[in-house]
């Protein structure tokens, strides 16, 4: 089986698994983006700085030329040696076509030499881990909730112990009103997505943007006290929908458009 056929089959299988639990509305005319969330691990601060530089000068402009925008590039606030890249694709075909399209872009190949000609014994980055997400109907496209200096972003992954509970949690955000409550409390999304392919499945993954860490703390304080949340969290139909939560605080890289 050719690589592209294998990847396409894998994506189809992932969408099929989601559809087995509930429709994902991935029909003709659906404007929800397919989100690629990448994590690059590096060996040193020097490598991290060099990676940021080549992302800003080569990768982000090339992704934009392919219609992938805005591109988010984020650094953990705890100085972990790595960074996250968010690529909002218009569809799955864009995910499949992008790697080859980059290498067919002469301007990209020239600007990206530090990432394309690095020696095996001294690579620019160690590895890339990726997740593929289908955007929620309540947040169909990537948003840029803040552009102020000092802004922070919160990346959260909600794992469920089975597919049915996963879909109930997605429903809780979309139809139950949890996403609406987030917005009312100043917890504005960058994205919300159902994981199609990646680790910790089944899960939903989302990112929120705040003007500051203080605004982030205040937003959660308002949310936890919101009367609609008090009602929603005690609704028995949404019991045991989340089995584990990953929480990561991020700051924008100089390469980020978000």
pLDDT at 11: 52
Fold (topology level) of 3-252: Alpha-Beta Plaits (3.30.70)
Residue 21: is its pLDDT beyond 50?
A: no
Mean pLDDT, residues 71-90 taken together: 98
Cβ contact 111:56 at 8 Å = no
Mean pLDDT, residues 199-225 taken together: 99
Residue 114: is its pLDDT beyond 50?
A: yes
pLDDT at 26: 45
Using pLDDT thresholds of 50, 70 and 90, give the confidence band for residue 24.
very low
pLDDT at 29: 62
* Average pLDDT of the chain, as a whole number: 92
Classified as helix, coil or strand, 89 is: strand
Residue 165: is its pLDDT beyond 60?
A: yes
pLDDT at 221: 99
What whole-number distance in Å separates Cα of residue 243 and Cα of residue 51? Answer: 34
pLDDT higher at 23 or 147 = 147
N- to C-terminal Cα separation, the chain: 38
The structure tokens listed for 245 are 């939560």
pLDDT at 91: 97
The structure tokens listed for 159 are 């794992």
Using pLDDT thresholds of 50, 70 and 90, give the confidence band for residue 144.
very high
pLDDT at 216: 98
């Amino acid at each position: 089986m050719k690589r592209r056929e294998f990847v396409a089959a894998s994506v189809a299988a992932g969408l099929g698994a989601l559809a087995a639990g509930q429709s994902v509305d991935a029909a003709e005319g659906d404007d929800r983006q397919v989100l690629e969330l990448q994590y690059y691990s590096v060996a040193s601060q020097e490598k991290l700085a060099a990676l940021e530089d080549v992302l800003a000068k080569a990768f982000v402009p090339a992704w934009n030329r392919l219609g992938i925008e805005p591109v988010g590039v984020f650094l953990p606030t705890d100085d972990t040696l790595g960074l996250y890249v968010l690529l909002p694709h218009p569809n799955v075909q864009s995910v499949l076509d992008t790697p080859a399209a980059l290498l067919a872009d002469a301007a990209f190949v020239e600007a990206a030499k530090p990432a394309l000609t690095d020696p095996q014994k001294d690579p620019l980055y160690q590895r890339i881990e990726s997740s593929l997400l289908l955007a929620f109907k309540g947040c169909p496209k990537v948003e840029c909730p803040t552009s102020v200096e000092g802004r922070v972003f919160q990346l959260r992954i909600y794992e469920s112990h089975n597919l049915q509970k996963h879909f109930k949690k997605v429903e809780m955000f979309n139809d139950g009103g949890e996403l609406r409550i987030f917005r009312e409390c100043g917890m504005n999304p960058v994205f919300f997505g159902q994981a199609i392919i990646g680790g910790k499945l089944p899960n939903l993954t989302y990112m929120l943007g705040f003007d500051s860490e203080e605004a982030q703390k205040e937003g959660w304080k308002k949310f936890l006290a919101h009367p609609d949340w008090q009602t929603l969290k005690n609704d028995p139909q949404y019991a045991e929908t989340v089995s584990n939560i990953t929480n990561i605080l991020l700051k924008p890289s100089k390469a980020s458009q978000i």
